[in-house]
């Protein structure tokens, strides 16, 4: 194995097959392109303004590009990458983190596989700060809870939380 090559690696994305709540979120997100396609056809092609105070055609096209294409594309590419290496745990929540956030093993007191309530404990999914500490999660309710030596807690969501936890505890001093 090469120096600092990943021992464990996981990539999670906000995709509809990951759960009912995400399917509903995607349904809401995908109504935006449908609405803007209808509005462009209605206002620009059929020359029938949309609404009581319609936006001009240029603004409508810009909004369609932002919310009709940009938002779904942004949601599709957003996600959490996790790696366990000899030097620590590497987390990157794309596109918010361009570089890895590293939790060195020398700063971790313990790691435990955990089942949690994303809404109650952390206020939802994403990069969250809740009453139990900081969380990096995309979907589901399973992860690894790291207790750092400075007393802070960090939860890393995972579809394979037990495998991730064992990869971490094998290296922990």
Domain containing residue 133: CATH number: 2.30.29
Prediction pTM value: 0.77
Task: Give the pLDDT of residue 72.
Answer: 85
In a domain, 60, yes or no: yes
How much is the average pLDDT of 11-28? 70
For residue 19, pLDDT over 70 is answered with no
- 154 neighbors 130 (Cβ within 8 angstroms): no
| Total structural domains within the chain | 2
What's the pLDDT tens digit per position in 49-62?
A: 887 788 888 988 89
Instruction: Identify the bridge partners of residue 157 per DSSP, sorted by sequence position.
Output: 143
* Judgement on whether residues 117 and 132 belong to the same structural domain of the protein: yes
What's the pLDDT tens digit per position in 108-137?
A: 999 999 999 888 888 888 899 988 899 999
Strands (E), 48-158: 79-85, 88-94, 101-104, 108-115, 126-130, 133-137, 142-148, 153-157
In a domain, 3, yes or no: no
Instruction: Provide the percentage of residues in the chain whose pLDDT is more than 90.
Output: 36
Task: Give the pLDDT of residue 1.
Answer: 47
Task: Give the pLDDT of residue 77.
Answer: 82
* Judgement on whether residues 38 and 90 belong to the same structural domain of the protein: no
């Amino acid at each position: 194995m090469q120096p600092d090559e990943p021992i464990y690696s996981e990539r999670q994305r906000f995709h509809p097959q990951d759960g009912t709540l995400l399917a509903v979120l995607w349904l809401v997100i995908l109504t935006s392109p449908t609405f803007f396609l209808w509005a462009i056809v209605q206002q620009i092609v059929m020359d029938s303004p949309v609404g009581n105070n319609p936006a001009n055609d240029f603004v409508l096209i810009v909004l369609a590009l932002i919310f009709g294409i940009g938002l779904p594309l942004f949601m599709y590419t957003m996600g959490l990458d996790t790696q366990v290496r000899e030097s620590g745990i590497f987390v990157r929540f794309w596109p918010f983190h361009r570089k890895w956030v590293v939790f060195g093993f020398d700063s971790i007191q313990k790691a435990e596989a955990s089942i949690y309530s994303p809404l109650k404990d952390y206020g939802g999914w994403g990069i969250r700060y809740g009453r139990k500490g900081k969380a990096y999660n995309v979907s589901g309710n399973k992860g690894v809870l790291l207790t750092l030596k400075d007393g802070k807690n960090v939860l890393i969501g995972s579809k394979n939380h037990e495998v991730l936890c064992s990869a971490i505890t094998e290296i922990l001093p």
